[in-house]
């Protein structure tokens, strides 16, 4: 099963004005869709970031993989490593520091997922079976709440409306829970002064008693602020995600607050694990196969976490159905991934590049797609439409900060802000 052709297609889809520490989501989110085709005519799907620098590397690497067998992941990784060469940064910084290894892993992941899709199809088994088999039949996701504007400036409000205070956040949670059945809640913080976000968590606790809650301010708090907030939220949070920057800062906070700390910012590549484990900086790692080098490498990281007593959850950026399928297969095959995963799916509000039907939410969980491979099929019309949107939208890299500065000229993404 050798690779005959690889198609790389950038796409854009509508994204609501979701607020975070870096600024605000732009009206269009970008992704890149990868189709790997074998000499036998099997096609595998992958999905990755859409930023232009990354897209360029994906395109360059795609050419170098023609003729490779879909099982030969070591050669694929080496070829991609040689081409990526150095650090490919993103502008938003919301998934931590860029390193050379992480840059290679980010490019490799899309091709690896596509090859696993092909291998599953060839063997007639779902990808979860290639990763060790199902530890669970359905993967729970959390309601991922955001402070948000009613609509993008100059546009009509979207159907989610504004969420700029406790009441708005509780209302948003109720809507997402009603539509998807979520049984855990995560609030993206780092937007308002910490006391306002503490009040939002307390309001969620009152409105949804017993529902696990998390707060993620994307490292905009100082160590002192993080410790104060952590202590004030004792008994309320399942975990506190990236309150402050760097492994050293997280380690200081972890020693002083009652709940575990989680991260998708200070531990984002294998070289971060030894110092984070040695300094007890985190209790929960948010896996993300898009930058941990695909599904198999993520499984290896999960095993390491088990060895060292770290729990697992899963991180998400704005994504489409190929990624949701890949995330679901990985989480289903990872016994120690016991926290509900993050997903931006509700914010895509039905926009997708996959044919509807194979992915659905039942009581907040996605049943593992049953078909061979990833179990999802590309919707060619949707792909063409979203590619056209990409060509027209005028955005080539995610930049929440510059977009925010259009409306709040004094805004900076400085850390710590509080």
Give the binding site for Mg ion (CB under 5 A): 216, 241, 264
Q: How far is the CB of 266 from Mg ion (least distance, A)?
A: 10
Of 54, 148, 188, 329, catalytic? 188
Q: Which residues contact 346 (CB under 8 A, 6 or more apart)?
A: 143, 144, 176, 179, 180
Q: How far is the CB of 241 from Mg ion (least distance, A)?
A: 5
**Closer of 138 and 341 to Mg ion (Cβ):** 341
- In 216-243, which positions are buried (b, 16+ CB within 10 angstroms) versus exposed (e)? bbbbbbbbebbbbbbeebeebbbbbbbb
Tokens of 63: 């050419």
Q: Which residues contact 166 (CB under 8 A, 6 or more apart)?
A: 196, 199, 200, 202, 203
The answer to whether 188 is a known catalytic residue is yes
Check residue 363 and report its DSSP letter: T
Q: How far is the CB of 286 from Mg ion (least distance, A)?
A: 6
Of 25, 57, 102, 315, catalytic? 315
Q: Measured between alpha carbons, how far is 175 from 338 in angstroms, rounded to an integer?
A: 25
Question: Cβ distance 81 to 106 under 8 Å?
Answer: no
**Burial class, 305, CB count within 10 angstroms (exposed 0-12 / middle 13-18 / buried 19+):** buried
Question: Cβ distance 34 to 60 under 8 Å?
Answer: no
**Closer of 101 and 216 to Mg ion (Cβ):** 216
For residue 12, give the 3-state DSSP assignment. Answer: strand
Active site amino acids: 188, 315
């Amino acid at each position: 099963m050798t690779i005959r052709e690889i198609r790389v297609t950038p796409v854009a889809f509508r994204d609501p004005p979701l607020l975070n520490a870096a600024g605000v989501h732009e009206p269009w989110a970008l992704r890149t869709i990868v189709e790997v085709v074998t000499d036998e005519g099997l096609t595998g799907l992958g999905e990755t970031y859409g930023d232009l620098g990354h897209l360029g590397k994906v395109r360059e690497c795609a050419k170098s993989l023609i003729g490779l067998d879909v099982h030969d992941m070591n050669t694929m990784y080496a070829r991609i490593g040689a081409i990526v060469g150095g650090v490919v940064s993103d502008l938003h910084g919301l998934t931590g520091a860029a390193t050379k290894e992480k840059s290679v892993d980010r490019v490799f992941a899309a091709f690896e997922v596509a090859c696993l899709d092909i291998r599953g199809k060839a063997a007639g088994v779902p990808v979860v079976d290639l990763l060790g088999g199902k530890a669970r039949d359905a993967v729970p996701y959390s309601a991922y709440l955001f402070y948000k504007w009613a609509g993008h400036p100059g546009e009509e409000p979207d159907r989610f409306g504004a969420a700029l205070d406790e009441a708005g956040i509780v209302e948003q949670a109720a809507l997402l829970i009603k539509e998807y059945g979520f049984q855990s809640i995560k609030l993206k913080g780092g937007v308002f002064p910490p006391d306002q976000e503490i009040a939002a968590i307390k309001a969620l606790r009152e409105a949804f008693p017993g529902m696990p809650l998390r707060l993620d301010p994307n490292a905009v708090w100082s160590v002192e602020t993080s410790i104060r907030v952590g202590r004030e939220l004792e008994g309320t949070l399942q975990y506190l995600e990236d309150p402050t920057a760097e492994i050293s800062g997280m380690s200081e906070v972890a020693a002083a607050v009652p709940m575990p700390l989680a991260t998708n910012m200070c531990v984002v590549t294998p070289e971060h694990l030894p110092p984070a484990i040695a300094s007890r900086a985190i209790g929960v790692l948010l896996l993300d196969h898009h930058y941990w080098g695909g599904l198999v490498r993520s499984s290896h990281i999960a095993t390491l976490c088990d060895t060292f007593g770290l729990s697992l959850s899963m991180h998400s950026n704005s994504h489409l159905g190929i990624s949701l399928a890949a995330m679901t297969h990985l989480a289903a095959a990872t016994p120690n991934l016991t926290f509900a995963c993050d997903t931006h799916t509700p914010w895509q509000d039905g926009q997708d590049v996959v044919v509807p039907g194979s992915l659905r939410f039942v009581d907040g969980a996605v049943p593992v797609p049953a078909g061979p491979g990833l179990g999802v099929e590309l919707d060619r019309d949707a792909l063409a439409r979203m590619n056209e949107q990409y060509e027209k939208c005028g955005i080539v890299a995610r930049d929440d900060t510059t977009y925010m500065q259009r409306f709040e000229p004094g805004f900076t993404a400085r850390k710590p802000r509080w």
